[in-house]
Structure 1
């Protein structure tokens, strides 16, 4: 099976992460999918931004928490991050905006719940409802470092594709993934080897390591037969696959 390419936060190596311009660039350069991160606003709207605060990636003046802003307030911020001089002002997108755009293509979408620090009440239910409303279930992978969120998603849906995220070495991760009734693992790339990839796939568990930006490492994980690799540079990775 061909290793798929997921653009990490779109094409985060060349465009402002988690913005529409970044997602569109990943699609343009031949990625099979995109990875994005979700938080929830004060007024209950799901927005696409990695950090729990607006400090790093926006020009928000008081650098506060996403959960403390309304959507209207967040939309006034510029999320162009370190690429402002190249691309101008970029809005923080809502998940609904991304799904609207997804109707025009066939990209896979890895939605990561950022629920490790903030317990966003109802974010799993709202996300699954939106996925169903848009008819995107076959194109979605839900992931999180907070595995309680994934267990909750499985309780809500018996069929949605789920993947555990982790940073440290995990003993027999395929067994842990199956115990949580998930379908995949998204490990930090330095924590796995070919044996873990082989055994996971043999057990029906997809393997999509992150974040692989070195060409040599990309080739290595493609040769391992990973289900996908997650990279800030989808253009480079897509060229290697070709």
Structure 2
């Protein structure tokens, strides 16, 4: 499968509805998004804790109201091509997902700031939109993933990691996860194949080169997470 990393973020403003729409139109199987909480408790889709890199705003998302966040332009380096785009809420994305069949990997960005109540808020929204079968929860904060499964054991979770874990498929099973999302630099063929044999899906990030895409398709990796879903889909078709 091909998951669009923050949408089609290689060619469009990351984590915006424009990037999500582009990924869907390209034929991606799913989206990978990131969530933070505003100071009035709204779930917003943004990778960074700060507004500075991806918008014309400054400061932390956690210190801003949703109303204020919505005034900023999230087009960042693509502003000349696409004009103004907004930071979307998770609710807005879920409303849009109701009109298609994309999967959605939600990364809980709660390693820098704990965001009390984030897990409950996200899961409540998943359930109210009946998206339990289409959502994967991931995080570098593995305590948070365990908490998610305590709240909703039916959900799929996947620990993110960037350093070498010993037998990560065993670790994943121990914390109740059904997948692992490793940095590609620590996802050897041995790790990928061993995890899949053990029933643990593997979705490495961030796969942007043609050679890496081709190799992962050839060895039967479960999925890739890429900034360029259109490119990945073309290569997958050529290698099928």
Q: What TM-score range do you get, normalising by the shorter chain? A: over 0.9
Partner of residue 34, structure 1: 31
Give the match for residue 220 of structure 2.
225
TM superposition shift of 1:216: 0.6
Tell me the residue number matched to 2:6: 9
C-alpha distance in structure 2 between counterparts of 1:40 and 1:47, whole Å? 6
Matches within 5 A, 1:127-206: 127-206=122-201
Cα shift at 1:170: 0.9
How far is 1:194 from its partner?
1.4
The equivalent of 1:57 in structure 2 is 54
Give the SS at the match of 1:164: strand
Q: In the aligned structure 2, how far is the partner of 1:148 from the partner of 1:51?
A: 20
Q: Which of residues 74, 96, 102 is equivalent to 2:91?
A: 96
Deviations 1:145-169 (A, max 9, x none): 1111101001111110000100111
Aligned residues: 237
In the alignment, which residue of structure 2 is the partner of 1:48? Answer: 45
Which sections of structure 1, spanning at least 5 residues, go unmatched?
none
1:185 and 1:177 map into 2 onto residues whose CA distance is: 7
Q: CA deviation at 1:77?
A: 0.4
Within 5 Å, give how 1:114-125 maps onto structure 2.
114-125=109-120
Distance 1:147 1:224 in 2: 28
C-alpha distance in 2, partners of 1:48/1:210?
19
Q: Which runs of 5+ in 2 are unaligned?
A: none
Please state how far the C-alpha of 1:131 moved relative to its aligned partner.
0.4
